[in-house]
Structure 1
Amino acid sequence: MRDLTVRDRAAFLSAPDALVVADVHVGRDESSSVQFPLGERDDLVDRLDALLAHYDPDTVVFAGDLFHRFDRVSDLSRRGLCELVTACRRRDTRPVLVGGNHDTRLAAATDNDVHDAYALADGTVVCHGHEEPSVEGHRYVIGHLHPTISIEGNTYPCFLWGREAYDGADVLVLPAFNRLAPGVDVNGVGTADVSTPLAPEIDAFRPIVYDPDSQETLRFPPLSEFHRLL
């Protein structure tokens, strides 16, 4: 964990010089029953651009569910993904696309290669997390679960870190980067509720919350202990 920092729903790994975001869900606003656009595309691009400016990473890995719709990709969603890729290239950062369970149309919607899993230079493997990883690593960074946590009546996006959680490897679960995507409250979640094979014992995972006001990273006890404190 020494080479890992978190900020605005993203993780930066200093050793491989890589930023990882998950569950971008481009097109989530199109699927909402609202009369006016929700500003999704500007929000995603502006926040990614701020992260790129802060970390100046060599690589950005998008860890699955880049699109929201399973069945089709609209022109608007296609342009939204293109804007994210362009934001990376504008700063000489290499974008890497990892497919998720929503991304049945991703390969046809982009000129970029689409990976099932992607191994970084230090042996960390980034995958979406909805299925067993196709690449072995000493650490896995995944999405898929959209974890949030409730503290004193307020809900925050959170990361989950499990030491040696999957086949002896550490696992980091990222929150959804798209702020319109619904979260899964980990306060009462159990292993039976978790839809990833990389978290067989979710109670052993520790929540991590980034506070944008203080710019502090708050680390909590494992969920098994955290539940007892509530």
Structure 2
Amino acid sequence: MFEDCVFRDRAAYFPAEETLVLADVHLGKDRASSVELPLGEREDVLERLGALLSEFEPEEVVVAGDLLHSFDHLPYGVEESLRAFERRVAEAGARLVVTRGNHDTMLDSLLDGTVSTHRVGEVLACHGHERAGSAEGYVLGHVHPAITIEGRKRPCYLLGPAAGGGRALVLPAFTRLAAGVDVSRAEALRSPLLGPPGAFRPVVRDEDGDETLEFPPLSELRAYL
């Protein structure tokens, strides 16, 4: 189900469906943060999104929730960032699909056609903060998984059992302003769609070395961390 997935820069590409999936973009987080990326949030997101679009040339781009960051207002510049995000996808000839996350309470005022879930072949894309329909697999965000290896905290993907059966792929937060939640000692994963954390295998993408590193399940890996 996820065997053919290609992991790149906190996103996942499904070749058979020609679909790129990312989650937790959190546009506007820089306004709520004391630390800002050197290029600024918008430039960083658009540059990285553009690189993914150029590499994979997808027919569809799915944001699995939390495209926005603020719950109750739209910070200055967020609408412009969202429009630039839309344009970048459209200019690449792809269709944009956005599933609503728990942070996206203001999203419907800016974007038409958002959905709660979206099918990507056998897999159901959703944010993961609430229960979703039955599926053989789920691709979701919300958890912001990360893992500390040799003293360095890295964003990671998680592969493991869905709570009601089937399998799940958890994406790291696409925004680099999210610190990430270290799952190496987690007693639970904060999604009703996910089974026990010990059964999940972390996958770490080393962009500098152009390697995708797959690790044993957390229940086995914890002894070495």
Q: State the TM-score bracket (shorter-chain normalisation).
A: over 0.9
RMSD between aligned residues? 1.6
**Do 1:159 and 1:207's aligned partners in 2 also have CA atoms closer than 8 Å?**
yes
Stretches of structure 2 that go unaligned for 5 or more consecutive residues are none
Note the C-alpha offset of 1:33: 3.1
- How many pairs are equivalent? 224
Note the C-alpha offset of 1:16: 1.1
Match of 1:168 among 162, 165, 170: 165
**Do 2:124 and 2:138's aligned partners in 1 also have CA atoms closer than 8 Å?**
yes
Note the C-alpha offset of 1:35: 9.0
Tell me which residue corresponds to 1:177. Answer: 174
Note the C-alpha offset of 1:229: 1.8
Q: Report the 3-state secondary structure (helix = DSSP H, G, I; strand = E; otherwise coil) of the residue aligned with 1:74.
A: coil
| Cα separation, 2, equivalents of 1:30 and 1:59 | 29
Deviations 1:127-158 (A, max 9, x none): 0000001x322110000010111100111110
Given the two structures, how large is their TM-score scaled by the length of structure 2?
0.95
Identify if the C-alpha distance between structure 1 residues 65 and 35 changes in structure 2 by more than 3 Å, giving closer, same or farther: closer
Identify if the C-alpha distance between structure 1 residues 229 and 34 changes in structure 2 by more than 3 Å, giving closer, same or farther: closer
| Cα separation, 2, equivalents of 1:85 and 1:223 | 37
Q: Report the 3-state secondary structure (helix = DSSP H, G, I; strand = E; otherwise coil) of the residue aligned with 2:31.
A: coil
Percent identical: 45
Tell me which residue corresponds to 1:129. Answer: 128
| Cα separation, 1, equivalents of 2:220 and 2:38 | 41
Given the two structures, how large is their TM-score scaled by the length of structure 1?
0.93
Identify if the C-alpha distance between structure 1 residues 219 and 36 changes in structure 2 by more than 3 Å, giving closer, same or farther: closer
Identify if the C-alpha distance between structure 1 residues 220 and 77 changes in structure 2 by more than 3 Å, giving closer, same or farther: same
- Whether 2:79 is the aligned partner of 1:82: answer no
Deviations 1:62-109 (A, max 9, x none): 010111100011341111111111100001010101110000110111
Identify if the C-alpha distance between structure 1 residues 216 and 74 changes in structure 2 by more than 3 Å, giving closer, same or farther: same
Note the C-alpha offset of 1:2: 2.4
